[in-house]
Structure 1
Amino acid sequence: MFENLTERLSRTLKGLRGQGRLTEDNVKETLREVRMALLEADVALPVVKAFVDRVRERAVGQEVMQSLTPGQALVKVVNDELVGVMGEANDGLNLATTPPAVILMAGLQGSGKTTTVAKLSRWLKETQKKSVMVASCDIYRPAAIDQLQTLAGEVGAEFFPSEISQDPVDIAQGAIDRARKQHLDVVIIDTAGRLHIDEQMMGEIQRLHAAINPIETLFVVDSMTGQDAANTAKAFDDALPLTGVVLTKTDGDARGGAALSIRQITGKPIKFLGVGEKSGALELFHPDRVASRILGMGDVLTLVEEAERNIDKDKAEKLAKKLKKGKGFDLDDFREQMLQMNNMGGVAGLMDKLPGVAELPQAVKSQVNDKEIGRLIAIINSMTPKERSFPNVIKGSRKKRIANGSGTQIQDVNRLLKQFMQMQKMMKKMKGGGMAKMMRGLKGRMPPGMPF
C-alpha cells in the first residue's frame, strides 16, 4: 500500500533534507510536487487542498525557517499533517458493555465483508482473548451463509446457523440470545451487501440496527476504489451511525487515496486494515505508523507486533539451541524460516514495513516476491529427508528429479542451493556469541539506545 505515493514523496523530500536553508520558492516547488503526488494517489481534492494549505502555513513559519535543519523540519511537518489527516491515534474497538458486545458489519457487495468478519473474530480471540459468535443476515446469497460457516470453523468462532427464508432481524436477535446463554463475549453480525447504495438496502440495515443496537457499526470498504471509498462511506454514515471503517485489500492498493481521504470526509476513524487473504491478515490502523510508511521510514513497531503474534516461539527457540550447540543449519530449517515469513504477511508485507525500502531500485524490489518464496518451499518439499539434512549430496541427477518434482528448472534448484549456502554461513557466525559480534559490527547503523 502507498507504494507510488511513498516513492514520489521520498524523492521530493529527499532533496530538502540536507538543505541549510529553505526559501519560499523551494517550499512552493516542493508543495507543488506533494500536491501532485497526493492527487495521483487518488486522495480527494478537498483533502489535498486542506493538507497542502496547512503544510504551507507551517513551512513558511518560524518553526521551519529558523530550524538548524529546515529540510528535516519540513519533513516532520509533512509527517505530522499526514497523521492529523488520518486521525492522530488508533481508535480501538469499544467492547465496554454487558456481554455480548454486538458488532454490526455493513458494506457493498465484493468489499470483503464476510472475510473481514472471520479476520476480526480471529483478532478478537488471539489479541483480546474474547469468545466470539458470528451470524450471517445475508438472506439473498445462500453462499454467503455457507462461506461464513466455513470461515468460522477455520478461525475457531461459534457459528449461528441461518436460512434465506428468515428475517434478518430474527437471525440477529437469535444469535445474540444464543451468545448470551453461552456466556460469549462478542457477536459479529454479517449483513447483505449490494452492488450500489439503494433505499431497500438502507431501509433493511437501518431496521436491523434499530433492533439490535450494536455497540460498534463498522463499514467495510475496498481500498482499491480510492476516493470513491470515502464517498461511499459518507453515504452510509448519513443513513447509519457508523463507529468506524475497515479498509480491505490494502495489499493490492499501491495508491492509498482511501486511507488519506476517509477520516476527513466522513469524520469516522479507520479502525483496521485488511492486508491479505489469510485469516490473520488484519492490522490495527495506527495513523502515526502509516504516515511513517508513506514517508519511506518503515513501520518497525507493527513488524515487531506481528513477529510476536505469528512466529512460533518453540520452533525459534529450538533452532537457537541447535545453532548454539554447533549443529548445522539445514534445508528443513531454511524452509521453516520461509514459512514463518509467510505467516507474517510474506515478503511484500515485510518490505512495506522496513525503513528505506522505498529508495531501493524497482529492479531489486521486483526480484523479491512471495511467488519466489513459494517456489523455494516447493523445491525443498521435493527433496528427500537425507537431501535436506545433507545438501552436499544434491548433484546432477538429484537436481533434475527435484526440479521435475517441484515444477521448476535445474537453474532454480541451483539458485536455491546458493541462497541456502549464504544463509548457512551467516548462521555459523551466530555460534558461540557470534550474534553479539555481528550486532556490534552493525552498531554504527543501529538507532541510538540499542544494547550492543
Structure 2
Amino acid sequence: MFQSLSDRLSNSLRSITGKATLTEDNIQDTLREVRMALLEADVALPVVKDFVESVKQRALGQEVMKSLSPGQVFLKIVQSELETVMGSANEGLNLAAQPPAIILMAGLQGAGKTTSVAKLAKLLKERDKKKVTVVSADVYRPAAIKQLETLAGEVGVDFFPSDPSQKPVDIANAALSHAKKSFADVLIVDTAGRLAVDTEMMEEIADLHRALNPVETLFVVDAMTGQDAANTAKAFGETLPLTGVILTKVDADTRGGAALSVRSVTGKPIKFLGVGEKTAALDPFHPDRLASRILGMGDMLSLIEEAEQKVDKAKAEKLARKVRKGQRFDLEDFRDQLQQMNNMGGITGMLDKLPGMGNVAQMAQQNLDMKQFARMEAMINSMTPAERRKPELIQGSRKRRITKGSGTQVQDLNRLLKQHKQMQKMMKKMKGGGMQKMMRGMGGMMGGPGGGMPPGMGGSGGLPPFK
C-alpha cells in the first residue's frame, strides 16, 4: 500500500534522522525531497504547500532544538503532520438515530460502490451486530441490482428487490418501509453512478437525499485516481451534505495522493479503506496507523485487531493444547493454519503491517505464487479423513487420486507433504514448555514478553495463523 510514496519518504528522511543537529539548510534539503515525493504521489498542490510549511515551522522551533535526538523528533513531526492532513483520529459512523439508520452511498461509476455496500453491510453485521437491509436504486446499470442481490446473499444480509422500471425515489421509499417493518437497524442505499459528474446525476441523488434524510452520506471514490479523487469528492460535497469518504482499491494504490488530499480538499473525513476484492476487505480508517505505515514503521495495532477479529480462537486453542501435549500435528491442523492466514489478508497482508517489512511484502507479492496456498488447501480437501490424519498413507495411487481431484501435479503434493513434515518437526520441539521458551526468546527480540504479538501469535494463547 502506497509503496512508492513510502519508499521516497523513507529515503528522504533517512539522511536527516541520524543528524546530531538540525540546521535550516539540512531541513530545507530534506523538505525539498519530501515535497517532490508528495507531488509525485499526486497529492494536491495546496495540501503539499501547507504540509511542508507546517513541518518547517515546527522543525525550526524549540521542540527540535532542545531535543537530544533532533533527527528522531523531526521524523515524529513529519508523522504528526501526516496524521493532521489525513484527519487527527478515526471517525466512525454515526448511527445514533431511530432505526433504521439510513446510509446513502454516492460516487462515480466504477469506483466500487456496490461492492462497498456489501462490505459495509458485512462489517456492521459482524462487528456491530446490526440487522442490515440493502437496496439498489441504480436503475441505469443493468447488472447493478443483480450484483447487489448476489453480494447480499454472500454476506448474509437482507436484500430488498428493485426493478429498473421504477424511479429511484420510489425504490428508496419502499425499501425504507420494508426496513421499518422488518425491524432493521440499518438501511444502506446504493445509488447510480456516472462516468463523470453531471447535472442530471446530481439532481437525482439530491432528490434521494431529500426523500430519505440519511444519517450518513458516504462518497465512494477510487484511490487510484489520485488528486482527481479529491476534486470529484469536492464536487459531490457541493451538492450533497457528505459525512465521510470510503477510499477503494487502496491495496493497489502505490502513490497515496487521494488518501493525503481528500480530507484537506473536502473537509470530510475518510471513514473506511477498501483494501481488496473480498467482502471482508474493508478497514476503518486510522490516520495515525496509516502515517506510521507510510513512514515504514508498520501497523501492529491493526494486525492485533485483525487477529482478534479473524483468528478462530477455538481452533487456535485446540491446536495449542495438542502441541503442549506433544500430540500429532496433522494435515487438518495444517489446513486450519492456511485458512487463518488467508483470513488475515494472506502473507503479504500480514508482512505489510509489520515494521520495516513493506519492501519484503512487495517482494513476496512479486516472487510468491499467490495461488499456491489455494492449491495446498485444495489438495488437503481432496484427501480422505484418514489420509489427513496419517499423511504416511499417501503413496502411489493415492497421490494420483488426490492430484487429479485437486487439479494439481504430483510434485505439488510432494512439496506440500514435505512442508507439513517440517512443521510437524517444529511442533514436536514445542512440546511441554518449549513453545513458551521460544516465544520468550522472540519476546526479547521484539520488546517484552510475547513481543507485543497479537493474541494467537505468541505465548500460550495459541499459535501463529501460519508459520
Same fold (TM over 0.5): yes
Task: Kindly provide the CA deviation profile for residues 391-440 of structure 1, in whole angstroms up to 9, marking residues without a partner as x.
Answer: 44556776666556545555544443443333333322332122210122
Counterpart in the other structure of 1:267: 267
Q: Given the alignment of the two structures, is residue 310 of structure 1 paired with residue 310 of structure 2, yes or no?
A: yes
Cα distance in 2 for partners of 1:112, 1:437 equals 47
Q: How far 1:18 sits from its partner (Å)?
A: 2.8
Q: How far 1:116 sits from its partner (Å)?
A: 0.8
Q: Given the alignment of the two structures, is residue 279 of structure 1 paired with residue 279 of structure 2, yes or no?
A: yes
Cα distance in 2 for partners of 1:121, 1:73 equals 41
Q: Given the alignment of the two structures, is residue 56 of structure 1 paired with residue 17 of structure 2, yes or no?
A: no
Q: Given the alignment of the two structures, is residue 68 of structure 1 paired with residue 32 of structure 2, yes or no?
A: no
Counterpart in the other structure of 2:132: 132
Task: Kindly provide the CA deviation profile for residues 344-396 of structure 1, in whole angstroms up to 9, marking residues without a partner as x.
Answer: 22222212211110354964563346333223333434445444333445567
Q: Which runs of 5+ in 1 are unaligned?
A: none
Identity of aligned residues (%): 66
Q: How far 1:242 sits from its partner (Å)?
A: 0.5
| 2:273 alignment partner, SS class | strand
Cα distance in 1 for partners of 2:199, 2:174 equals 26
> Aligned runs of 1:424-443 on 2, under 5 Å?
424-443=424-443
Task: Kindly provide the CA deviation profile for residues 156-209 of structure 1, in whole angstroms up to 9, marking residues without a partner as x.
Answer: 211111111211111111111121122211111111111111110001011111
| 2:232 alignment partner, SS class | helix
Counterpart in the other structure of 1:200: 200
| Total equivalences in the alignment | 452
Aligned AA for 2:312? D
Cα distance in 2 for partners of 1:78, 1:410 equals 53
> Aligned runs of 1:35-434 on 2, under 5 Å?
35-360=35-360, 363=363, 366-368=366-368, 370-392=370-392, 406-409=406-409, 411-434=411-434
Cα distance in 1 for partners of 2:158, 2:92 equals 23
| 1:33 alignment partner, SS class | helix
Cα distance in 1 for partners of 2:199, 2:390 equals 67
Q: How far 1:244 sits from its partner (Å)?
A: 0.3
The question of whether the paired residues in 2 share the 8 Å contact of 1:10 and 1:358 is answered with no
Cα distance in 1 for partners of 2:212, 2:363 equals 53
Q: How far 1:39 sits from its partner (Å)?
A: 1.9
Q: How far 1:133 sits from its partner (Å)?
A: 0.9
More displaced, 17-26 or 168-177? 17-26
The question of whether the paired residues in 2 share the 8 Å contact of 1:347 and 1:368 is answered with no
The question of whether the paired residues in 1 share the 8 Å contact of 2:351 and 2:360 is answered with no
Q: How far 1:155 sits from its partner (Å)?
A: 1.5
Q: How far 1:328 sits from its partner (Å)?
A: 1.6
Change in Cα spacing, 1:409 to 1:186, as seen in structure 2 (3 Å) is same
Task: Kindly provide the CA deviation profile for residues 44-70 of structure 1, in whole angstroms up to 9, marking residues without a partner as x.
Answer: 122112111111111122212331111
Cα distance in 2 for partners of 1:292, 1:404 equals 46
Change in Cα spacing, 1:161 to 1:406, as seen in structure 2 (3 Å) is closer
C-alpha RMSD of matched pairs (Å): 2.2
More displaced, 271-280 or 34-43? 34-43
Change in Cα spacing, 1:409 to 1:293, as seen in structure 2 (3 Å) is same
Aligned AA for 1:318? K
Q: How far 1:283 sits from its partner (Å)?
A: 0.7
More displaced, 439-448 or 400-409? 400-409
Cα distance in 2 for partners of 1:10, 1:369 equals 28
More displaced, 331-340 or 223-232? 331-340
| 2:233 alignment partner, SS class | helix
Cα distance in 2 for partners of 1:99, 1:366 equals 47
Change in Cα spacing, 1:363 to 1:287, as seen in structure 2 (3 Å) is closer
Task: Kindly provide the CA deviation profile for residues 4-30 of structure 1, in whole angstroms up to 9, marking residues without a partner as x.
Answer: 112222233233333322233322222
Q: How far 1:270 sits from its partner (Å)?
A: 0.3
Change in Cα spacing, 1:34 to 1:103, as seen in structure 2 (3 Å) is same
Aligned AA for 1:152? A
Cα distance in 2 for partners of 1:417, 1:109 equals 47
TM-score, L = length of structure 1: 0.93
Aligned AA for 2:352? D
| 1:109 alignment partner, SS class | coil
Q: Which runs of 5+ in 2 are unaligned?
A: 452-458, 460-467
Q: How far 1:247 sits from its partner (Å)?
A: 0.7
Task: Kindly provide the CA deviation profile for residues 313-353 of structure 1, in whole angstroms up to 9, marking residues without a partner as x.
Answer: 22222212222221121222112111111112222221221
More displaced, 100-109 or 322-331? 322-331
TM-score, L = length of structure 2: 0.90
Aligned AA for 1:224? M
